[in-house]
Chains A and B, each alone.
Chain A
Amino acid sequence: MLSFAVNRPRRPFALSVAAELEAGITGICGPSGAGKTTLLETLAGLRGGTDRLLLQGRSLVGAGDRLRPEQREAGYVPQDGRLFPHLTVRQHLAFGPPRRRSDEHLTNRVVELLQLTVLLDRYPGRLSGGERQRVALARALCSRPAWLLADEALGALEASLRGRLWRELRSLLVELELPVLWVSHDCSELQLLCDHLLVLSDGRLLGQGEPLPTLARYAGFALSEGPDRGFHATWPGVLAQDAAGGIAVDVGGLAVQVAGGPAGVGVGAPVHLTIPADAVLVARGDPGVTSARNVWSAEVEALDEDAAGTTAWLRCGAKVPRLAARLTAAAVAELDLTPGCRVYVLVKSSACRVLAA
C-alpha cells in the first residue's frame, strides 16, 4: 500500500529508513531528533533524499520517476501548522487548485469534526496554537490528498479535546481509505488512532509492530518524559458511579475506581481510561485489605522482556482489554511469573486518568 526508502546521509538530518506498510494508519514515534519530521518532509517532497516511494501501486519516486511536491498529492500537516497569514480559515480550506478541493459534504464534516465553525472567518494571527493545528489538519483533509502525513497534528490541543477527537478522526480516516503516517508522542493517541507503529531513533528504524506491544517495548525511546507521557494502556469505557457514590469507569463490565471524571462529562458518557504501566502492582497471593481502590484477579497472558525490564500483559476479564504492568526482572523472578499463572492486580484510583471520548 505504501512503500518507501529514504536515505539522507548528511547531518544534522541524517536519515535512513525503509518500510513496507499495509493500508491504514501508521503511527511514528521516537525521541526528539529521531528524524520523524525530516522523514515526513522528505516523503512530501519538501526535502531531497527519497530513493523509493510507492503509493497504492503507483511509483512517485523510483527509477525514472521523481514527482514534484505538487504532484505527490500528499496532505501534509506540519507540527507548527504553517498557515498562510494572509488567508482566513475558510480560504485555507479551499486553498488548493480545483482538482485538489474537497466537496462541500466532506468540508462541512471536517469543519464540524474539528470544531472550526466559529473560526472560519478568522486569520491565523487570531488563532491559538491548538486552533492553528486543527486548521492545518482540516486544510490537509480538504485538499483531497491521496495520503496523509501528520506531524504532531494534535500536539498543541487540550487533552480533553484531543480525547474527543481520536475516535471520530479515526473513523473519518478509515472511511477515506487514506494511507496515513501519523507522528505523535502521545501514548493514548498512538494506541487509539493507529493500526501499526514505527519507532525511530537517531535517524533509523528501531522497531515496528502493533501499537500497544511496540509502545511497551520502546516506551523509553519513543515517548517524551513527563506526566501523562510514559507508557500506559488506554481503555475505552463509560463513566459510571459506584455503589458508594464514587466515580468509576466501566470497562467491559470491570468497574475501575478513579479519582474524578473529566470536567463537563456526566455519568454514562464515553471516556478513555489510561492506566500507567509503572503504576500497576502485581501480587501473587490475595493482598487483603489495601489502600488501592482497584484490586482485581487477573491472568498473566504474556511476558515481554526488554533491556529496561519486563512488561507483563494481564487479562482482568473476558471483555476487558489487556493491561500492561512494568516490572523489574527481580520482581518477575520473585513472583515466579509465567504465562497463564493467576495474580492479583492493584491500581490506585489516583493513578488512573480519564479523558472525554
Chain B
Amino acid sequence: MSDATVSAVLLTLKVASLATLLTAVTAIPLARFLARRSGPHIQLLYALFSLPLVLPPTAVGYVLLQLLASDGAAGLTLFGLPADLLLTWQAAVIAAAVMSFPLVLRGAKATFDTLDPRLEAMGRSLGWSRRRAVIKVTLPLARRGLLAALILGFTRAASEFGATITVAGNIPFQTQTLPSAIYAAQQLGRDGEAVTLIVVALLIGLAALLGSEWLVWRTTRREDKR
C-alpha cells in the first residue's frame, strides 16, 4: 500500500471515530428526549433530525458548505471554531457526523421506545437524580441497542462520500478519506489501487459488523443467564 493509501485509511478511522463520538453525545440524549414524549411537535422534530437520511449527501454537503465557510450564513467563527473549516479534516468529521446522526438517532430511539420509563422513575424514587437514574438504569438496559446504533453510525461515517468531498475536498494526506481515495483512483485509472482500497474498506466494514454481532451475541448470552 502507498503512503497515500495508508494515510487515507488512518484518516478514515479517525474521522469515523470522532464523528461517532460526536453523534453519541448528541443523538443519544436527543433520542431519549424524543422517546419520552409524544405529540405532533415531537414527530416533526424527529422528522427534521432524520432529514440527512433522505436528502442527497451532496445537498447536505451544500448546506454544510454554507455553514462552515468563514463568510457562511451561520458564521461558525462565533463558536470559537477556526475561521474557515472548509477543506480540513475537521470538516470531514462534521460531514460524517451529520450524515450518520439520523441512523444513530433512530436506532437509539427505537431502543428507548422499548424500555419501561417507570424503571427510570423507580431509580429516582430510590434516591438517584434524574441524570444518575439514566446512567444507573436506562443506559445499562439500552446498552445493546445503543451499541448496535453506534456501530451502524460508525460504518456510515467511514463510508461517507458525498457530503465529505463537498466540504473537505479530496486532498491526499490532508482530507482524503477511503471513499474519496477510491473515487480518485478510479478517476485516474489506477485500478489496482482502487481494488486495494475497496478491499480495505470492505475489511473495515466487515470488522465493524462482526464486532457488532459479537457484542450483541455476548450481551444476549449474558442476559440469557439472567
A residues engaging B (CB < 8 A)?
A: 44-46, 68-70, 72-74, 76, 78, 82, 84-86, 95-97, 99-100, 123-126, 139, 143
**Cα of A264 to Cα of B225 in the assembled complex, Å:** 34
User: Of A78, A85, A139, which is within 8 A of B141 by CB?
Assistant: A85
B126→A46 contact, CB < 8 A: no
B126→A86 contact, CB < 8 A: no
B122→A70 contact, CB < 8 A: no
**Cα of A73 to Cα of B126 in the assembled complex, Å:** 7
Task: Give the number of chain B interface residues (Cβ < 8 Å).
Answer: 22
Minimal beta-carbon separation of A124 from chain B (angstroms):
7
Do A100 and B226 form a contact, CB below 8 Å, given A69-B121, A86-B140? no
Do A82 and B128 form a contact, CB below 8 Å, given A125-B226, A126-B226? no
B126→A100 contact, CB < 8 A: yes
**Cα of A143 to Cα of B123 in the assembled complex, Å:** 11
Minimal beta-carbon separation of B134 from chain A (angstroms):
12
Residues of A within 8 A of B129 (CB): 68, 70
Residues of A within 8 A of B136 (CB): 95
- Asked if B73 CB lies within 8 Å of chain A CBs, one says no
**Cα of A243 to Cα of B33 in the assembled complex, Å:** 72
**Cα of A124 to Cα of B122 in the assembled complex, Å:** 15
B residues engaging A (CB < 8 A)?
A: 116, 118-119, 121-130, 132-133, 136-137, 140-141, 223, 225-226
Minimal beta-carbon separation of A37 from chain B (angstroms):
11
Residues of B within 8 A of A85 (CB): 141, 223, 226
Do A74 and B125 form a contact, CB below 8 Å, given A82-B119, A85-B226, A123-B226? yes
- Max chain A C-beta neighbours (<10 A), residue from B122, B129, B141: B122
B226→A69 contact, CB < 8 A: no
**Cα of A78 to Cα of B128 in the assembled complex, Å:** 17
User: Of B118, B124, B223, B226, which is within 8 A of A70 by CB?
Assistant: B124
Residues of A within 8 A of B121 (CB): 46, 69
**Cα of A55 to Cα of B16 in the assembled complex, Å:** 54
Chain B minimum-CB-distance residue to A92:
B126
- Max chain A C-beta neighbours (<10 A), residue from B121, B125, B136: B125
- Main secondary structure, interface of B, reads helix
**Cα of A311 to Cα of B223 in the assembled complex, Å:** 54
Minimal beta-carbon separation of A120 from chain B (angstroms):
14
**Cα of A84 to Cα of B127 in the assembled complex, Å:** 15
**Cα of A177 to Cα of B20 in the assembled complex, Å:** 52
B125→A69 contact, CB < 8 A: yes
**Cα of A171 to Cα of B180 in the assembled complex, Å:** 74
Residues of B within 8 A of A100 (CB): 126-127
**Cα of A82 to Cα of B121 in the assembled complex, Å:** 10
Do A96 and B122 form a contact, CB below 8 Å, given A85-B226, A124-B226, A126-B226? no
User: Of B116, B119, B127, B140, which is within 8 A of A96 by CB?
Assistant: B127
Residues of B within 8 A of A45 (CB): 124-125
User: Of B122, B137, B140, B225, which is within 8 A of A78 by CB?
Assistant: B122
**Cα of A72 to Cα of B121 in the assembled complex, Å:** 13
Residues of A within 8 A of B116 (CB): 82
A76→B125 contact, CB < 8 A: yes
**Cα of A85 to Cα of B120 in the assembled complex, Å:** 12
Minimal beta-carbon separation of B146 from chain A (angstroms):
13
**Cα of A44 to Cα of B128 in the assembled complex, Å:** 14
User: Of A46, A78, A86, A97, which is within 8 A of B127 by CB?
Assistant: A97
**Cα of A300 to Cα of B197 in the assembled complex, Å:** 98
Residues of B within 8 A of A72 (CB): 125
**Cα of A124 to Cα of B223 in the assembled complex, Å:** 11
B119→A143 contact, CB < 8 A: no
